[in-house]
Each structure stands twice: as C-alpha cells, then as structure tokens.
C-alpha cells in the first residue's frame, strides 16, 4: 500500500536505527522475553486447570480471574506510569509476576495446586499486566529520537506478535512433553529476565506528571484523551471492530471450520493472518507515510474480505488463506500507525494515562463480542452472523474515515514537540 508524498525518513541501518540505542535493545529484549513466556503460560495454565478438574467452567473462572483485574486497574496503571519512572513501574510489575508464577509452578509440580489458588495467582498477574501496559507505551519516546519512533514501534510490534506466535507454539510442545508446571516455570523465569533487562534502563528525570490526587490525574488524562478527536474516534471505532473480530472471526471461525473445511485449515488461516501482520511490521520499518493513521485505517479494511469469505464461501479455503494473510497485513499497518500516532501526538506527561484509556476500550470490547456472537449463533447460522460482521466492520471503518482529523493527522505534531522542549 502506498500514499503519494510518503517519505523514507532518517532511519539508518535500513530501518533498524533504534537498535543502535542500548536502552531500546534492553526494552525490546524485555518485551520479547516476556511475550515468549506468556505464550508458555497461556498453554500451561489451561492444561493445569484441565488436569486438576477437567472442567471448562473452572478454566473459564481462572481466565476471568486474570481478565477482570486487568480491566479494572488499567487506568490506575496509567496514572502510576505517568507519575513514576516508567521502567521501574515495569520492573516492579514483572517481579510480582515472577513471584506469583513461580509459586504456581511449584504448586503444580508438587501436586498441591487447587483451582482457587490458580485463580488468585492469575488475578494478581492480571493486575501486574495492567501496570505494565501503559508504562510500556509511555517509555518508548524516552528511548529513541522522535524521527525513529515509527521504526521503534514496528520493531516492538514485530517482537510482540512474533514472540506471541513462537511462545504459543513452543509452549504447546513443552507442556505436552514436560507438563504444565514446567511451562509455568518458564513463564516465571521470563518475568525475572525481563525485570533484569529493564532495571538497567536510564531514562530522563523530566517529563513526568505532577503528583496530585488519583481522581484528578484520571480526569486530566481523560481531558487529554477527549480533546483529540482523532483519538476518541478511532478508539470508539475499534470498540466495535474488536468486538466483531473477537466474535465473528475468533469465536465463530472454529465453529464454521468444523462445519466446512476442518480444523487444520482454520489453524492455517490463523497462522496466515499472523504472518501477514509480521510482514506489515517489516514494511513499516522502511515505509514512512505522511499520514500514517490514514494508511492504518485503510489497512483495517483488509479484515472485511477475509471475514466475508468465511461467512459466504467457507469451502473456498485457498482464497480464505490469501485473504487472511492480507487482513493480517492491514492490521499490522494499523498497529504501527496507531502506536506511532500516540507517541508523537500526545504529551509525554500524559501518554501512559491516554494509552490506558485506549487499552480499556479494547479489552472491554472483547468479551462483549464473544458473548454476543455466541448468543447470535444460537439463533441464526454462524455463517450469517460472520457475514453480517464483515458488513459492520466495513461500515465502522468507513465511518471513522469520515473524520477529517483521522484522515489528515500528520506524521508528527509540532505541538507535542513544543511541549517536550518546554518540559
């Protein structure tokens, strides 16, 4: 995808300029190691619960125990990340996760684990992640020059998504061979390594929010969020898009696969989508559009053909694989464009709080979409629900692009540059 007037800005090393920074290499390594470990944990926790009781209800309880505090504490995580040195917030949260996962590993390996214990441990881990996520976004502009932020976002996204795919694959093999306890032990070790990498970061002492009350900090963060039309328009749009994708694609996709082309092909489709996303991350290392958010939002249209094919013509699975690859590519463009837009257009003193409002919108939408899709598929054919979902996504993206602030958002903000100089 191209755009007239795009540039190849000053990204030395063919788009790998951020890797010249020791701090960024530490950040990238910590992010990759943590995601790899989380891939192990996703598989290990599921099979640890099933080994204990074999109950899908118990598994749902343990997974919900992690998700709920993640949503509840995201905004508070943003407040602390804007008040304190962000890398130390991440170090503390990683150490908490290391301790809890180590306890879980010991409990499972010794045969002493109980469901309530695993639920409590996952709740603590979900809380820790709520503090890590806003700090991770906010720390990026402190590690690399502003002109390298898009490349840094692309490298971070590549590590995040590539590590997620690799971690799940390796975790499946490891858990099958050695058991859930050792999978949890690997995850615990990943948090310890991540903390060691992050504790060595040296960040500027400036550019932190003034310490007031938590409620005032949240109100000020909301003001920064709501005052940028492009920001709340896209978050609102993705509240719908994320719900539809979680429901019509992720939840109903396996159902349609069982009725038509089979589970193996569905696995290939999911892998194709992930591959497309990784390719987009590599492309964005070199391609620097003047209006990145426009390019990213246009890329989201790539979800529509894949979802439509799944609903309308699932038996044409070779086409589905191609369209899934294209859809993943479009989402990859958006992910880099979105993170770049956040870190270049939001003042550093409020960046973590603003990113927490963004993340809250995304996480709240996922269970809503999953529940709604299951309910609709009980009343109507799953293929019809997915086909309708494709239409809703197309309309939602088009509605977002009606906003001039979304279409015309430039690659850099002089206002933020001025704020940073004054800080």
7 CB-near residues (< 8 Å, 6+ apart): 288, 290
Q: Which two tokens stand for residue 224?
A: 């920064």
Q: Which two tokens stand for residue 51?
A: 């080994």
In terms of pTM, does the model score above 0.85? no
Q: How many alpha carbons lie under 13 Å from residue 7 in its C-beta half-sphere?
A: 10
The runs of H, that is alpha helices, within 179-262 are: 180-199, 214-226, 229-244, 252-259
What domains are defined for the chain?
A: 20-200 (1.20.1250.20), 214-412 (1.20.1250.20)
Count of C-beta atoms within a 10 Å radius of residue 219: 12
26-52 tens-digit pLDDT: 988 988 998 888 878 877 887 788 788
Sign for the CA dihedral angle at 334, 340, 346, 352 comes to: positive
Question: Contact, 303 vs 393, CB < 8 A?
Answer: yes
Question: Contact, 187 vs 41, CB < 8 A?
Answer: yes
Q: Which two tokens stand for residue 13?
A: 């090393």
Please give the residue that has the higher pLDDT: either 216 or 116: 116
pLDDT band at 205 (very low <50, low <70, confident <90, very high): low
- Check residue 421 and give its pLDDT: 38
pLDDT band at 13 (very low <50, low <70, confident <90, very high): very low
pLDDT band at 293 (very low <50, low <70, confident <90, very high): very high
161-183 tens-digit pLDDT: 787 777 777 777 787 788 889 98
261-283 tens-digit pLDDT: 776 777 788 778 888 888 998 88
What is the residue-wise DSSP string for 178-199? H-HHHHHHHHHHHHHHHHHHHH
The answer to whether residue 416 scores a pLDDT higher than 70 is: no
CA 308, CA 328: separation in Å to the nearest integer? 15
Is 394 exposed, middle or buried (CB count within 10 Å of its CB: 0-12, 13-18, 19+)? middle
Reduced to 3 states (helix: H, G, I; strand: E, B; else coil), residue 57 is helix
What is the residue-wise DSSP string for 336-364? HHHHHHHHHHS-GGGHHHHHHHHHHHHHH
Residue 26: φ, ψ to 5°: -65, -45
Q: Which residue has the tokens 């402190």?
A: 142
CA 352, CA 358: separation in Å to the nearest integer? 10
- C-alpha distances (whole Å) from 45 to each of 113, 115, 176, 185, 189 are 11, 11, 13, 11, 15
b/e 133-151 (16+ beta carbons within 10 angstroms → b): bbbbbbbbbbbbeeebbbb
Average pLDDT over residues 251-257: 79
Please give the residue that has the higher pLDDT: either 397 or 273: 397
Q: Which of 35, 26, 60 shows the shortest CA–CA distance to 187?
A: 35
> Please, what is the average pLDDT of the chain?
82
Q: Which two tokens stand for residue 322?
A: 């191609």
CA 104, CA 92: separation in Å to the nearest integer? 19
């Amino acid at each position: 995808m191209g755009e007239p007037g795009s540039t190849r800005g000053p990204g030395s090393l063919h788009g790998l300029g951020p890797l010249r920074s020791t701090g960024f290499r530490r950040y990238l390594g910590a992010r990759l190691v943590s995601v790899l470990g989380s891939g192990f944990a996703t598989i290990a926790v599921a099979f640890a619960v099933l080994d204990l009781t074999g109950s899908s209800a118990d598994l749902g309880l343990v997974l919900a125990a992690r998700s709920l505090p993640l949503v509840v504490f995201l905004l508070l995580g943003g407040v602390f990340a804007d008040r304190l040195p962000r890398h130390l917030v991440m170090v503390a949260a990683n150490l908490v996760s290391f301790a809890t996962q180590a306890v879980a590993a010991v409990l499972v390996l010794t045969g002493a684990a109980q469901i309530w214990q695993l639920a409590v441990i996952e709740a603590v881990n979900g809380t820790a992640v709520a503090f890590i996520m806003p700090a991770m976004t906010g720390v990026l502009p402190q590690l690399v020059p502003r002109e390298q932020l898009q490349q840094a976002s692309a490298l971070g996204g590549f590590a995040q998504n590539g590590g997620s795919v690799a971690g799940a694959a390796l975790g499946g093999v490891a858990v099958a061979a050695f058991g859930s306890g050792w999978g949890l032990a690997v995850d615990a070790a990943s948090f310890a390594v991540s903390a060691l990498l992050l504790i060595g970061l040296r960040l500027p002492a400036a550019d932190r929010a003034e310490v007031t009350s938590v409620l005032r900090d949240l109100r000020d963060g909301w003001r920064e969020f709501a005052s940028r039309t492009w920001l709340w328009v896209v978050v609102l749009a993705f509240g719908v898009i994320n719900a539809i994708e979680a429901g019509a694609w992720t939840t109903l996709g396996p159902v349609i696969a069982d009725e038509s082309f089979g589970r193996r092909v569905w696995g290939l489709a999911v892998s194709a989508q992930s591959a497309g996303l990784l390719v987009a991350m590599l492309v964005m290392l070199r391609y620097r559009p003047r209006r990145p958010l426009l390019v990213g939002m246009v890329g989201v249209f790539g979800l529509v053909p894949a979802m439509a094919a799944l609903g309308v013509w699932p038996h044409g699975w070779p086409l589905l694989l191609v369209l899934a690859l294209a859809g993943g590519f479009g989402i990859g463009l958006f992910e880099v464009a979105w993170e770049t837009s956040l870190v270049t257009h939001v003042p550093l003193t409020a960046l973590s709080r603003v990113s927490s409002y963004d993340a809250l919108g995304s996480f709240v939408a996922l269970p809503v979409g999953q529940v709604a899709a299951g309910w609709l598929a009980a009343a109507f054919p799953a293929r019809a629900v997915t086909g309708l979902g494709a239409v809703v996504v197309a309309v939602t993206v088009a509605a977002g692009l009606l906003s001039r602030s979304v279409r015309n958002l430039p690659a850099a903000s002089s206002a933020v540059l001025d704020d940073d100089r004054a800080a």
